């Protein structure tokens, strides 16, 4: 395992975004229309905003001496909105304000010419490229002008290395994307870690936690969504 002087690390995937909703609808309908706009500008959905509030409840419930004391966020809108929703909830509950930094290396995976293309849209536009994606697998596939998850792991690895040197002993909360959280898991597993060809699920608004002893970070929990249970119960009652 690589040395890392952090006392703890939490990684939050942003709440549900409007693109998450659109991709799910496209998968159900078979739509081949890309989502308009730029990926970095995609906002949270209404549910995603509610998930950010639930994450704020989770953060406010952490003991001051054991929970995060520094936040590093992706520059993408959906991640920033997730953090803003969390911070507003914590402030409303009388909790402390945390130092916040934004780092470009925590951005989502770049999809190049297929930015905001659901899988069916990619296949309709470039069937041979869709075949290549299936052949290589998601971990190694690099779209034209974009990144493979292997590329994301390189920049996330450099981020972890710099963070450990810049903030030794700090307890850090990262607010980013599923690809970044997966890359963190791979990087922190150490030299010789098996590449996750089958990418582990990272639910929206989930929390993954690594505990630090000042020398190494070890995975404690992955993709935890227990803090969303009351929100899910409320939505279930509304549908009923």
Could you report the per-residue pLDDT of 134-189, keeping only the tens digit for each?
999 999 999 999 999 999 999 999 999 999 999 999 999 999 999 999 999 999 99
Average pLDDT over the chain, rounded to whole?
A: 94
**Structure confidence at residue 1 as a pLDDT band (50, 70, 90):** confident
Is pLDDT of 240 > 50?
Answer: no
Give the model's pLDDT for residue 6: 96
Determine the average pLDDT of the residues in 195-200.
Answer: 84
Torsion angles phi and psi, residue 149, rounded to 5: -65, -25
Both tokens assigned to 96: 């402390």
Listed in sequence order, the residues at least 6 apart from 20 whose beta carbon sits closer than 8 Å to its beta carbon are 45, 48, 204
Query: What phi, psi does 128 have (nearest 5°)?
Result: -70, -35
Q: What is the pLDDT of residue 100?
A: 97
The predicted structure's pLDDT at residue 237:
47
Rg of the Cα trace of the chain? Answer: 18
The reported pLDDT for the residue numbered 196 is: 87
Q: Which CATH superfamily is domain 8-16+49-111+149-239 in?
A: Phosphoglycerate mutase-like (3.40.50.1240)
pLDDT of residue 199: 79
Average pLDDT in the 90-118 region? Answer: 96
Q: What is the mean pLDDT of residues 196-223?
A: 93
pLDDT at 10: 98
Pairing of strands 171-176, 70-73: parallel
Q: How confident is the model at residue 33 (pLDDT cuts 50, 70, 90)?
A: very high
What average pLDDT does range 205-223 have in this prediction?
95
Q: Domain coordinates of the chain in residue numbers?
A: 8-16+49-111+149-239
Judged against a pLDDT cut of 70, whether residue 234 lies above it is answered with no
Q: What angle do CA 211, 140, 150 make, to 5 degrees?
A: 40
For residue 64, pLDDT over 90 is answered with: no
Answer for the pair 144, 202: CB distance below 8 angstroms, yes or no: no
Tell me the whole-structure pTM to 2 decimals: 0.94
């Amino acid at each position: 395992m690589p040395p890392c002087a952090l006392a703890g690390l939490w990684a939050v995937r942003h709440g549900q975004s409007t693109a998450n909703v659109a991709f799910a609808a496209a998968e159900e309908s078979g739509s081949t229309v890309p989502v308009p706009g730029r990926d970095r500008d995609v906002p949270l959905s209404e549910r995603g905003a509610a998930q950010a509030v639930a994450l704020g409840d989770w953060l406010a419930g952490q003991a001051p001496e054991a929970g995060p004391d520094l936040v590093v966020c992706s520059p993408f809108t959906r991640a920033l909105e997730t953090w803003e929703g969390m911070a507003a909830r914590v402030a409303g509950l009388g909790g402390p304000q945390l130092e916040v930094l934004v780092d470009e290396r925590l951005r989502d995976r770049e999809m190049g010419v297929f930015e905001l293309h659901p899988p069916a849209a990619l296949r309709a536009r470039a069937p041979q490229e869709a075949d290549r994606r299936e052949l290589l697998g998601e971990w190694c596939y690099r779209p034209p002008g974009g990144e493979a998850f292997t590329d994301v792991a390189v920049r996330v690895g450099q981020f972890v290395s710099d963070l450990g040197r810049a903030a030794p002993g700090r307890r850090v909360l990262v607010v980013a994307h599923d690809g970044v959280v997966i890359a963190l898991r791979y990087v922190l597993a150490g030299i010789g870690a098996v590449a996750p060809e089958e990418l582990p699920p990272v639910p929206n608004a989930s929390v993954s936690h690594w505990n630090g002893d000042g020398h190494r970070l070890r995975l404690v929990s992955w993709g935890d969504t227990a803090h969303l249970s009351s929100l899910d119960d409320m939505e279930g009652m509304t549908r009923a």
